[in-house]
Structure formats: C-alpha cells, structure tokens
Amino acid sequence: MLCSDGILSLFCFIAASLISLLPELLFRLELDIYIVYFTNIWFLHIIQYIFINVLAYLAFRGFAYQVAVRAIFLGYIFGIGILISITASPSWQIFGIYMTILANFHYSEFLAIAWTNPAVLSIDSFILNHSIAYGIAASLSWIEFFIERYYFYELKLPSPVSYFGLILCISGEILRKLAMCTAKHNFNHVVQSEKNDNHELVTHGVYSLCRHPSYVGWFYWSIGTQLILQNPFCFCAYALMSWRFFYDRVLIEEITLLNFFGEDYVKYQEKVGTGLPFISGYKISL
C-alpha cells in the first residue's frame, strides 16, 4: 500500500505535469488570453513553476516539503517533455521524449520504494544525487545533443534509432520496477552490509530470469536514453561506463549475498545468470 509520502509525491507530480500542459491546452481551446500578458511562453512557465513551489513552501514542512519540491520538479519536466515532443520542431522532439523518460525514471524510483519498502524511503530514493559521475554523464549527453543538433541537424531528426531507444528505455524501466515490486522489502538502493531479520533470498518472478533484474533494467534504460538522443559518442561511453559500474556493483552485492545466504545463493547462481552481458558475478565453491 502506498504510504502518505508516496501519495503526496504522486499528487505533486501529477499536478505539476498538468499545470505545465495548461498553457498549451488553453491555446488549443482558444482561451489564450494569457498571451496578452506573456509574449514569451517560457516566461509563463517560469511564473507557473515558481507559483506552485511557493504553494508547496506554504503547505508543507520538513520531509514532506522536500518530497513535494522534487516531485513538482520532475512532474514539470515530464510535462514540458511531452509538450516539446508534440509541438516543437522535429529536431527537438526526441529531446522532449528524452525529458519525459528521464523525469519518469527518477520519480518512479521514489514511488516504487514508497509502495514496496516505505521503511527505507528517503529523499535519496529519487536518486537525483546518484553520484557526481552520473551528473557529469547526463550533462555531457546534453552537450553532445546540442552541438550535434547545431552542426548536424539531420542527425537529430526522429528515426527508427530513437524509437528503438524509447522501446529499450520502456522495457528496461518495466523490468526494473518489476524487480523492485517482486523483491519488496528486500530491495534497497544501497547495498546492505548486514542481514536484516526479514531479509529473504528472492528467486521467483523476474528473479527467475536473471539474478539482477533491477541492474539489467537500469543498464538498458541507460544506453536507451542515448539512442533516443542519437548521441553516438555518449552511446559508446554510456555502454562502457554502465557496464563497468554494474560489473563492480554485482561483485560487491554477490559477495554480500553469499555471506547472507551461503549455499542457497550458490545454487541460485548455478541456475540463473546475472542477465548482464559478459558479467558472471562473484563465484565461489563450497
């Protein structure tokens, strides 16, 4: 059942998304009186975004406020991404799709934890501050997109490559969320060093297909984002760096799981692969 903070975040995310779409909706209904006051539509969006953040500041305090402002931010980005993907020039449309995919991923991480394991819910569950390297990688992908769009306009037009990337992102997202929902209280964004009393070895559902479905989903989501943007350099960099990150992460996690579950995990390893290309995990013989 969704906890109160999860409900709050969902309300803020949906509200911010709808508010971001409001100017376009009014324009299509020919109720565009706002044009008299705002000749620049982006200035109107800035005013709207500031307004709903002021409301959040007045309405909430503490942890609830921190949840609200992040959900509002991601919801507004999600809505703006939809607008760009359906109203902007073709070379910007794929960036709009990318924005919706990125905002949805980070928000759904928080929502999934709020639903399946609220005891460990925190602001970090949005994983907006995942790491410095993650932020740099995202920034570099935007820079590559803008530079290539300026010099190679045709490269950024919607194509089967970008739509395949979208399918990859959606599939990876679904797999990751299925893993989180299947593992429930056993899932945590941080690798646990101590075994809790209710910690169980999950081997059913998507875990019967691969040992690390959440990592598999994130891996393919990651490289899918660069296919959407049609960034050839960042696609190669993301594939390499994501593989390296999950190679190290799987080793660390499997050492921990072997300590927790011993022979049961060894038998599980024998039956099910990691799901990640060229990553076999940490193996021992008992």
The answer to whether 56 and 72 are in contact (CB under 8 A) is: yes
pLDDT band at 211 (very low <50, low <70, confident <90, very high): very high
Over the stretch 126-155, which tens digit does the pLDDT of each residue have? 999 888 999 999 999 999 999 999 999 999
As a residue count, the chain comes to 286
pLDDT band at 28 (very low <50, low <70, confident <90, very high): confident
Report the alpha-carbon distance of residue 184 to residue 64 in Å, rounded.
23
pLDDT band at 26 (very low <50, low <70, confident <90, very high): confident
- Delimit the domains of the chain by residue range: 1-104, 130-286
User: Is 11 a residue whose pLDDT tops 60?
Assistant: yes
Give me the pLDDT at residue 261, please: 95
pTM for the model: 0.94
Sign of CA dihedral 93, 99, 100, 105: positive
Over the stretch 169-194, which tens digit does the pLDDT of each residue have? 999 999 999 999 999 999 988 888 78
- Burial class of residue 9 (count of CB atoms within 10 Å of its CB; 0-12, 13-18, 19+): buried
Q: Indicate the range of 25-39, 179-193, 234-248, 272-286 predicted with least confidence.
A: 25-39
Q: What CATH number belongs to 130-286?
A: 1.20.120.1630
